[in-house]
Every structure is written in structure tokens, then in C-alpha cells.
Structure 1
Amino acid sequence: MRQGYSSRLAALDYTVCLHSEVFVTTQGGNFPHFLMGHRRYIYGGHAKTIKPDKRKLALLFDNPNIRWEVFKQQMKDMLHHSDQKGIELKKPGASLYTFPMPDCMCKQEEARSRNCSSGKCMMF
């Protein structure tokens, strides 16, 4: 890697992950938390994010004799488990960066629309 380009490459990485159809996170830290939160915000909470079981994934990658069909089935099982979780809702104390909007944003918007149409709208 050339000197002085790490910030540009990180920005490119972030942009590609942000606009990808699916984001697979395999690490902790600020990058995936900011990215998941940004994806939730711009896609209204409906961005596909897969968080595989890191221990199982490490075991799969560590096995040099694994066959493609076995690897593929294990990944499908992890994806199915991730799909079963559904849309994550913010838990008390969860990061604002990971969950940038309230759980009931649609209900708040409906209430705001009703109040504005009845002449009770206040702008801050």
C-alpha cells in the first residue's frame, strides 16, 4: 500500500460497504457500528446486515480440508440464524451510532403529521 492513502482507502471501503446490498460484519469496533447505524438510517432500518458467529466462522476458515458444500451449508445455517433475528431494535444502553433512530420513528412521524394537519405543529 502506498504511503498516505490509508484514509482514502478507508473512505472507499466505507462507501462500498454502505451502499452494498448486504454487509457482513466480522469485527467489533467503531467501523462496523457506524456503518450499521448509517445503513439503518438511510435504508429505514431495512439494510441487510449479517453478523456471523465469529467462533464458528474461524473454525471454518481454519479447516484446510473443508469441502465447499460443507462450508456453503454452514454459511447458509449462519445466514438463516441471522435472518431469524429480524430487524434489530435498540436495546436500552445501546450505541447511538449503531441505532441512530428511535424504534418507533414511523409512529412519531404519523403523530407529527396528525398534529400538523390539526394546526398544532411546532417547529424546533
Structure 2
Amino acid sequence: MKFALLLSLVLFWFLPSLGQKPLRALEKVYSKAELSAFKERHGSLDLLIYAYDHAISIVHNNGNKELEPYPLVSKTQHFTDLNVQILPYTQYFRTENSGELLAIKSLYQLQLAFANRDKK
């Protein structure tokens, strides 16, 4: 019985903090005013929280385009690690691996993916 009580207290204490990680990361990139404006415009922050895990994709340069104009970044899972915001257009960055671009999806692409996530 003591174990169950202790386990419930630990879960009660730590589980809310797990859901706060994307929000804390977003607060490093967006000001409180920007987050409030986004929430007002889109009804919630759900789209940005979705973007935290789904905004980045890797694009292979099969056409041998010149990659030098793109800024060099380390590969990452989250756009907030690059200190950039989601914009109306796709943003591209070079990675350490030659021939690879890291793409941060546009707001429109994320809106489509977010709307269709439950339809699969």
C-alpha cells in the first residue's frame, strides 16, 4: 500500500513536467506576446507543440545544387534548438553531412499535417 501511494505521488509530481518540455523550448524562441498572439490567431498552441516534434525533415541533395549559401547547423530533432521560429515559408540549413539539407517546414505545411494527423 505504501508503495502504491509513493508511486502515485511521484507520478503526480513528475508527469506534468513532462508535458511542459515543448512549451519551455517554445518560450526560448518566442516571446510571451508572440505566443499569446499565436494562441489568439490559431485558437491554441497545439500547432506549435506539434511543430516541436514534427517541423524538421532531412532533404538529400540529389540534384547537386550548391549548398554553400545555406547556414551550417548540427542535426537536431527540434526546430527550437536552432533558435528559429516557424515561418510562412520553408527554411533550409546545411548539415554536417555533405549533400544533406535540414528543412524546417512552413506554417502551411504544418497546418496540413496537423489537420491530417488523425485521418491516417
TM above 0.5, one fold?
A: no
TM-score by length of 2: 0.29
TM-score by length of 1: 0.29
- Normalized per residue, the structure richer in strand is 2
